[in-house]
Amino acid sequence: MKIMPCPLNGPRNISEFTYGGEFKLMPDPNTCSDAEWADYVFNSNNLAGVVTEWWMHTASSYWFLAERHTVTDQIIRTYDPSERFSQRVEFNLPASREEEVSA
């Protein structure tokens, strides 16, 4: 049985987690091109070695980051996203879209 240490809930069976994808720095959604945004959303580097990934503890819906070696599948460490992020990213909707959402 493989165990993953959850930063919030402690060591848990890997079956309790959902993979969320490779961690990548997000381009500014207000100034990047459509091609840059599509690259961020749909493409990954798929490196062999240590990568940082998003994971979620499914039972508690808690998202966190994990450093994992993709060749050996060894989990090196897991940590709360607050170690990387100091503020929330807000997305500005165009005025016409805001009206649709509020209706």
For CA atoms 64, 65, 67, 72, give the dihedral sign: positive
Fold of the domain built from segment(s) 3-102: Folate-binding fold (3.30.2270)
Q: Map residue 8 onto helix, strand or coil.
A: coil
Instruction: Judge whether residue 98 has pLDDT over 70.
Output: no
Domain extents in the chain: 3-102
pTM for the whole thing?
0.79
pLDDT in tens, 4-51: 999 999 999 999 999 999 999 999 888 999 999 999 999 988 899 999
Q: Are 30 and 36 in contact (CB under 8 A)?
A: no
What contacts 73, CB < 8 A, 6 or more positions away? none
